[in-house]
A and B are shown apart, each in its own frame.
Chain A
Amino acid sequence: MIEVEHLTKRYGDVTAVSDLSFTIQPGQIYGFLGPNGAGKSTTMNIMTGCLSATEGHVRIDGHDIFQEPNQAKRLIGYLPEQPPLYLNETPLEYLRFVGEAKGLKGPALTEQIGEVLRQTGLENVRGRRIAALSKGYKQRLGIAQALLGDPQMIILDEPTVGLDPLQIIEIRDLIKELGKTHTVLFSSHILSEVQAICGQILILSKGKLVAFDTPENLERRMTSNEIVFTADAPQDVVVDILVQTEGVSPLDLQEKSPGLTEARIGAEEELYDVSRRLFFAFAERGIALLEIGLRKANLEDIFIELTEKEAQGKEGQNHDGSAEA
């Protein structure tokens, strides 16, 4: 379990992370989402002891990362944004060093190195120079390094950045696989990626946590579930039907050609319930629905809405401030 409490990091006048608090429970994959410069890397660097915090605490299973760094660091494996590799060595030599530094010895070390090489699919290149490896392999080696010492928690900073589509899929599968045995926290600015693998999503914007929920709940939270349809009737008839139907709020109505209305409505309840009701309401009046489409809010909308709201909120504050002055 990782507890982050009131974490703040300032670089001079710039606040990279401000008053961040969250708790990560074991046994799930967490996605850390945010636009570039939102403070994802800074937060991860602090959580893994690579950076100090201006204020606040990070506890890994009760061990404070600043007070008891060695105990805390043993519980986490970290892959920084750029995999920290010694390019002149082979993966085997590199992993041996990291393993030894993590306190592994003798047969246990050899066994674990073999295990992480197998897990990350690096067995074929174990004896090649790291500098000669492809970017995907380097990234895997970075993950292999994080896995040594069997930490409970794996923290990966943008593990799929700069990889080709095939490599991205491979790394994603690897993360999914790791999620079965470890708690994984990984950051990304690619929404679909996070949606595809994560059980929990943390959205960070301007150094603040703006959302922390499951992807399904985040989608449910959105109000912009919409139904778009074309009815074989004039506009006033359509309005008449909509007024009598529960759970809909017309957003846009247009009579495209005489006797043919295009409508966009917001659904206030479960989408399928509303669309079923709509279908029968029109059917009762003998009007055909020529086209019907559902627009579910996706993570992208949520992300944009949340991060923009944050930005607007900030601007609002500034305006208030200047008005007072």
Chain B
Amino acid sequence: MTAVLKHELRSYFHSLTAYVFGAFLLMFVGLGALRYNIQAAVSNFEFVLEYCSLVLAIIVPVLTMRVLSEERRQKTDQLLYSLPISTTQVILGKYLALLTVYLVPLCIVSLYPLIFSRFGDVYLPAAYGSIFAFFLMGAALIALGVFVSSLTDNQGLAAGLSMALMLFNYFSVSLSEYVSATAFGSILALTVLILLLCVLVRFVTKNENLAYLLGIVLMLAVMAAYFFHISSFENLLPRVMTTLSLFARFESFVNGVFDLTAVVFDLTVTALFLFLSVQSLEKRRYN
């Protein structure tokens, strides 16, 4: 794992990748600090991070797009498979390198509240709590980006797809107000989701029967739940959209609440997508 980590770090810091990523993040944090802390003279640093959270949805996909898709395109993935290291070690090494690239600008950012506190009354626990939450949210987004990159050998597609997913995740709370809150609307959305899942299963496992079976079982489950417990479907779709939003959970830190469920959620999302990335890489060996 250390070999992969060192190799990735070298490639990020020898090329412009790490610097451009860091520069963009620092630039937006700087703009935010200028706008809130200096021009508006607000002492809450957490607002700056809230302002910057949308930026993550743009720059993280650009950072993660090539991590696995480029290996596949250059056929260097065959080297990784033939080396005496496991797929888990490869993914972890690559992920930790990305995390380091992300952590470096955040370390610089974490000096800002200290600097500001010399000129005014900054509530440091809230500021550092939200920097911590910002880090965790980024970590989860990077894991998502790694997974999307493992699906294709086309960097552009990987970037576009993860950007779309992250933006949807960002706006899902506001969007949830506009989606149907009725039970029927939720059923419809669930059906679409199940169909998408089946298509994905069919595509990944190349096993049509499994996809059909899964689809039928899930549809029956949904229908059974609909007849026996119709009330649970009221408002289901907006609730799900809000619950799954990484960005919405970050808000509670901005509001000064150290939300442990958000920490657990971020870590779970990270672990899930890293696990899926390992499976996606492993699967290519079994096609």
A83-100 to B contact mask, C-beta < 8 Å, 1/0? 011111100010001101
With A80-B75, A80-B78, A84-B79 as contacts: A73 and B84 at CB distance below 8 Å: yes
19 A-B contacts, Cβ less than 8 Å apart? Answer: A48-B81, A48-B82, A49-B82, A50-B82, A52-B286, A69-B86, A73-B83, A78-B82, A80-B79, A85-B74, A86-B74, A87-B74, A88-B15, A93-B10, A97-B6, A100-B2, A100-B6, A101-B3, A102-B84
* B287 close to A (CB within 8 Å): yes
- A86–B76 CB distance below 8 A: yes
Give every chain A residue within 8 A of B63 (Cβ-Cβ). Answer: none
With A101-B83, A101-B85 as contacts: A84 and B76 at CB distance below 8 Å: yes
Q: Which of B15, B76, B285 contacts A85 (CB 8 A)?
A: B76
Give bound CA distance, A35 to B271, whole Å.
Answer: 45
Chain A residue with Cβ nearest B77 = A84
* B4 close to A (CB within 8 Å): yes
Q: Which of A170-190 contact B (CB under 8 A)?
A: none
Q: Which of A39-71 contact B (CB under 8 A)?
A: 45, 48-52, 69-71
Taking chain B's interface residues, is the majority helix, strand, or loop, or is none over half, making it mixed? helix
B90-114 to A contact mask, C-beta < 8 Å, 1/0? 0000000000000000000000000
Give bound CA distance, A33 to B9, whole Å.
Answer: 41
Q: B residues within 8 Å of A by Cβ?
A: 2-4, 6-7, 10-11, 15, 74-79, 81-86, 206, 285-287
Instruction: Give 8 nearest A-B pairs by CB, closest first.
Output: A100-B3, A84-B79, A101-B3, A73-B84, A50-B81, A97-B7, A84-B76, A80-B78
* A82 close to B (CB within 8 Å): yes
Chain A residue with Cβ nearest B287 = A11
Q: Which of B75, B78, B84 contacts A103 (CB 8 A)?
A: B84
Q: Which of A83-136 contact B (CB under 8 A)?
A: 84-89, 93, 97-98, 100-103
Give bound CA distance, A103 to B15, whole Å.
Answer: 26
Give bound CA distance, A45 to B286, whole Å.
Answer: 12
With A51-B285, A73-B84, A86-B11 as contacts: A12 and B3 at CB distance below 8 Å: no
Number of interface residues of A (CB under 8 A): 31
Give every chain A residue within 8 A of B81 (Cβ-Cβ). Answer: 48-51
CB of B69 to closest CB in A, whole Å = 14
CB of A108 to closest CB in B, whole Å = 14
Give bound CA distance, A82 to B75, whole Å.
Answer: 7
Chain A residue with Cβ nearest B206 = A12
Given contact pairs A50-B285, A98-B83, enumerate 19 new A-B contacts (beta carbons under 8 Å): A45-B78, A49-B82, A51-B81, A51-B285, A52-B285, A52-B286, A70-B86, A76-B82, A78-B82, A80-B79, A82-B75, A85-B76, A86-B11, A86-B76, A97-B3, A100-B6, A101-B3, A101-B7, A102-B84
